[in-house]
Amino acid sequence: MNYLLAVDSGNARIKWGLHDGHSWSHHGVVQQGESEQLERVWQGLPEPMRIIISNVAGDGARSNLSDLFAHWRAQPQWAVASAYQCGVRNYYADPTQLGTDRWAALIAAWRIQRQGCIVVSAGTAMTVDALSDTGEFLGGIIVPGLQLMQDALTRGTSSLRPEGGEFRDYPDSTKDAIWSGGAHALAGAVERMAVMLTETLGHIPECIISGGAASILLDRLNIPAMMVDNLVLEGLMAMDEDAAGTVL
């Protein structure tokens, strides 16, 4: 079987999936740097014929992954953002400087929607990107993720300590106030981008959300939104198909 291994190497985690041409037959996630655990899992996989990777975690992560790929015959394909691919036009000032995870997510979102939308990845950092009705990536923002916000606040103030919290409409404890404030900040950033894109498009765009904090964010938004698991992996698969000349 013609298996494709897609790997999303992010700042905190590595998500991966093995696609058999019909569905993701195997998938998983490990913390960044846990190469031994990843090696044990991958040893039990059918051998992939193709490998495609989005890596935004630096040269060390790339080197670790390269070592793991070495026992397979397939030559890894390291994704790079471009000016145009899979129906999406990249209007970044320097298209190659766009993170490959954001590029893959935009491609996947366009494949799902085929119209203007907001594409959100809520991970260590949160990115909020805008797609036009004709598949143009207009630009986007990057803000600290929920955990980074809490860490920055507790590091910068002597009286606050990092501890668990939960969302409340009217928080009555410091830990809940910090948690709720972060959730409101993320939701507000998404909704502000949605307002701007609505003015550009002339209609209210759908918001597509992925990432570790996607479910937290989804519950806070007052705009049409849907959560899509493994959005980057879906985009990587589309990029692989495009490179192979498959009609999308």
Instruction: Assess if residue 240 is contained within a domain.
Output: no
Query: Could you tell me if 65 and 174 lie in one domain?
Result: no
Q: What is the pLDDT of residue 243?
A: 83
Q: What is the pLDDT of residue 167?
A: 87
Phi, psi of 230 (to 5 degrees): 55, 45
Q: What is the pLDDT along the chain (248 residues), one digit of tens a residue?
A: 899 999 999 999 999 999 999 999 999 999 998 999 999 999 999 999 999 999 999 999 999 999 999 999 999 999 999 999 999 999 999 999 999 999 999 999 999 999 999 999 999 999 999 999 999 999 999 999 988 988 888 776 666 665 678 888 899 988 888 889 999 999 999 999 999 999 999 999 999 999 989 999 998 999 999 999 899 999 999 999 998 754 33
Q: What is the pLDDT of residue 152?
A: 82
Q: What is the pLDDT of residue 78?
A: 97
**CATH number, domain containing residue 133:** 3.30.420.40
Please tell me the total count of domains within the chain: 2
Instruction: Assess if residue 94 is contained within a domain.
Output: no
Q: What is the pLDDT of residue 245?
A: 55
* Residue tagged 């894109």 (tokens): 197
The sheet with strand 206-210 has its strands ordered as 84-85, 88-90, 136-144, 125-131, 117-122, 206-210, 225-227
Q: What is the pLDDT of residue 244?
A: 73
Q: What is the pLDDT of residue 246?
A: 45
Give burial (CB, 10 Å; 0-12/13-18/19+) of 186.
buried
Residues that are catalytic: 101
Query: Could you tell me if 118 and 201 lie in one domain?
Result: yes
Q: What is the pLDDT of residue 95?
A: 96
Q: What is the pLDDT of residue 161?
A: 64
Structural domain range at position 13: 4-78
Instruction: Assess if residue 91 is contained within a domain.
Output: no
Instruction: Assess if residue 158 is contained within a domain.
Output: yes
Query: Could you tell me if 221 and 129 lie in one domain?
Result: yes
User: pTM of the predicted model, to two decimals?
Assistant: 0.93
Query: Could you tell me if 138 and 227 lie in one domain?
Result: yes
Instruction: Assess if residue 95 is contained within a domain.
Output: no
Given the DSSP bridges, would you call strands 125-131 and 117-122 parallel, antiparallel or unpaired?
A: antiparallel
Q: What is the pLDDT of residue 178?
A: 86
